[in-house]
Structure 1
Amino acid sequence: MPSAHLSDRGVVRVYGEDAKSFLDGLITSDLDRVSPQAARLGALLTPQGKILFDFIVFEAPQDIGGGYYLDVMRVFAPDLAKRLGFYKLRAKITIEDRSDTLAVVAGWDTPKPADEAGLVAEDPRLPALGWRAIVAAEDAVEFAQGSAEDYHARRIALGVPEGGRDFLFGDAFPHEALMDQLHGVDFDKGCYVGQEVVSRMQHRGTARTRIVPAVYEGGFAAEVGVEVTAGEKTLGKTGTGAKGHGLIMIRLDRAADALAAGETIRAGGIPVALEKPAWINFPFPGEAAPQV
């Protein structure tokens, strides 16, 4: 029954009278869909629509102080708190980096812990990822039946990317990072930073570059950031890999052309097969064209 302390994750707390309206006007997720029972994937974008930070949003019950807790890559937690502070103006909120006192844990193929353990919710991205929780830092050791490496191997095999690992912050649009597929963008919510660009990509279907799962020949995975090629053409770059599975950011049209021409796609020189998960609903390289 594996669970793991994700020591690479930190926590930023936003609370106060205006916390909901403040965050709702900034991030991609609709806070009406966040509750103490339901977390949500979200991101803070640049005005040009690129991801500055991605995170999972938890809401605390009022009886323990309320507010929102953002589960973010720990090394970027201070920057996220600082960036949110730029937008604070006269909003009645407090923003705190709580990464020293709180920890993020995850579990899969095992029941969720009781609510008393902390903020607990099903992983909002994909049911197969299991559950996720924010707990007191001193309690994280209780959830270390598995390792963070085990968790990431499962995440990668399921095809779920994470910012700072599989794409660079400030460099990728939400569609490229599959946030539209993983419930990280609520297209029917009000305005937020970068919304115009993201909405245009959604309605025009202009996301030509995507992160896709791949299976490496021989069971080895390429290092992060090496070129993905087919013949003489560069298709993109690699993200993280584990146990023969990997995530790669590629131009979908170039990959489709390569496969149609019978060319082998290689990542760091290693042959890879693109693998479409059931939850992806955009046209995938190598799929047969739909019958008209």
Structure 2
Amino acid sequence: MTVIEDEQADLGAEWTAVGDREVPADYGRPDRAHAAVRNVVGVTEMPYGVVTVGGDDRVEYVDNVVSNDVPTADGEGAYALLLDPQGGVELDMYVYNAGEQLLLFVPPGEADALADEWREKVFIQDVEISVATDDFAVFGVHGPKATEKIASVLNGASSPAEHLSFVRGRIASVGVTVIRTDAPTGEEGFEVVCTTGTTVNETGEERANAELVFDTLLNQGLNAAPFGRTTWESLTLEAGTPLFESELRGRIPNVVGLRNAVDFEKGCFVGQEVVSRVENRGQPSQRLVGLRPEAVPDSGAAVFRGDEAVGEVTRAVESPTAGEPVAFGVVDFETDESNLTVRVGGEEVPAELADLPFVEGSDRSARVPEY
């Protein structure tokens, strides 16, 4: 369950399951919340699983497993993948160097299995792996006014400027870490991390850290709108950001064009041989594309060129910004715009290939597919 259930309920949250977490789907007006993020700023709870890795060999251990270089300096982060031997994505994650430990943000429900698997592979290295999901609350702050929002409530530090860098400061007397995101919504973005303990506020009242931080992010300084998972889905799709649950799981990174998550010169991670072979061949067999169908298809709906099935839809929404259906599809690499259709409700409707992102915001997602 969310770390701030009562506060979310008071705002009128409707709930949905994401991995092993219950989080707000929306607060009754998802389109309105979507517009608030696109035009000003919004706040959402990020239901990450959290794994910490300590010990003298922590950087070397994780670096030998994931697809990207693990940062060696405190205050830096990286987006990386855990691949299977066939090069398929088992997990995506953010890896942050927090000084004496690495902090890993993984998809909801995946932290325990990851920690168990890695513990079994530790032999003589000095590595300590722990699940810390219940110890942290993470809130996303996104929108063209996100930097202004953070500046209005953060004390003791300036907003971090570089993607996936972070600073430490205080919000409402609570110690926080503020991370500059890699813009998954296509807007300026930050994640505010605090522990799930309690703090005595300025009036002498003891309150949960997460409650204080969430309330401050919504109501102090520049006001922000709360938004839930429904809006997260529509924002990230408009921004051209593939997500683990719908686009990444099981696919090799070359197919989804996820170049920011892989160091192709690195030769010491599981699945590297497959990824490098596809890279050296020049193109994968499939690619992730944007589609503009005439109606919203279900995930898994077939994509046709003429009478030939050439792929499937991974995610689709009625775009609140564009006012029309938009979708991600994985299709044969050479698929062009001629005579494309998608299946909706048992019938085939016309669709066009679309440039990504669908919507240009105040920042560009680092995950927009590149080939």
C-alpha distance in 2 between matches for 1:229 and 1:92 = 53
Spell out the pairing of 1:1-292 with structure 2 (5 A cutoff).
1-7=41-47, 9-32=48-71, 35-60=73-98, 62=99, 66-109=100-143, 110-111=146-147, 113=150, 114=154, 115-116=168-169, 118-124=176-182, 128-133=186-191, 134-137=193-196, 138-139=209-210, 141-142=214-215, 143=217, 145-148=225-228, 149-167=230-248, 169=249, 171-180=250-259, 183-218=260-295, 221-242=296-317, 243=319, 244-253=325-334, 255-256=335-336, 259=337, 262-268=338-344, 269-277=348-356, 280-282=369-371
Q: CA deviation at 1:241?
A: 2.4
On the 8 A contact 1:106/1:130 being kept in 2, the answer is no
On the 8 A contact 1:45/1:53 being kept in 2, the answer is yes
Q: CA deviation at 1:35?
A: 4.5
Count matched residues: 265
Which residue is 2:361 aligned to?
A: none
C-alpha distance in 2 between matches for 1:42 and 1:59 = 13
Name the aligned partner's letter for residue 103 of structure 1.
A
Q: CA deviation at 1:155?
A: 0.9
On the 8 A contact 2:51/2:115 being kept in 1, the answer is yes
C-alpha distance in 2 between matches for 1:222 and 1:97 = 38
On the 8 A contact 2:185/2:232 being kept in 1, the answer is no
- Per-residue CA deviation, residues 84-129 of structure 1 (Å, 9 max, x unaligned), is 2232222211112222222333222211744325343222366934
Show structure 1 runs of 4+ deviating over 4 A.
278-281
Q: CA deviation at 1:184?
A: 0.4
Q: CA deviation at 1:190?
A: 4.6
Percent identity for Structure 1 against Structure 2: 21
Q: CA deviation at 1:23?
A: 0.5
Q: CA deviation at 1:281?
A: 4.2
Pick closer, same or farther for the CA change 1:52–1:196 going to 2, 3 Å.
Answer: same
Pick closer, same or farther for the CA change 1:202–1:246 going to 2, 3 Å.
Answer: same
Name the aligned partner's letter for residue 45 of structure 1.
L
Name the aligned partner's letter for residue 252 of structure 1.
F
Structure 2 length as normaliser, TM-score? Answer: 0.64
On the 8 A contact 1:213/1:275 being kept in 2, the answer is yes
Name the aligned partner's letter for residue 225 of structure 1.
G
C-alpha distance in 1 between matches for 2:247 and 2:351 = 17
On the 8 A contact 1:28/1:185 being kept in 2, the answer is yes
**Secondary structure class of the residue paired with 1:107:** strand
On the 8 A contact 2:293/2:341 being kept in 1, the answer is no
Structure 1 length as normaliser, TM-score? Answer: 0.80
Name the aligned partner's letter for residue 146 of structure 1.
P
Higher Rg? 2
| Structure 2: 5+ residue stretches without partners | 1-40, 155-167, 170-174, 197-208, 219-224, 320-324, 358-367
C-alpha distance in 2 between matches for 1:135 and 1:216 = 41
- With 97-106 and 45-54 compared, the bigger mean Cα shift is at 97-106
C-alpha distance in 1 between matches for 2:340 and 2:290 = 16
**Secondary structure class of the residue paired with 1:106:** strand
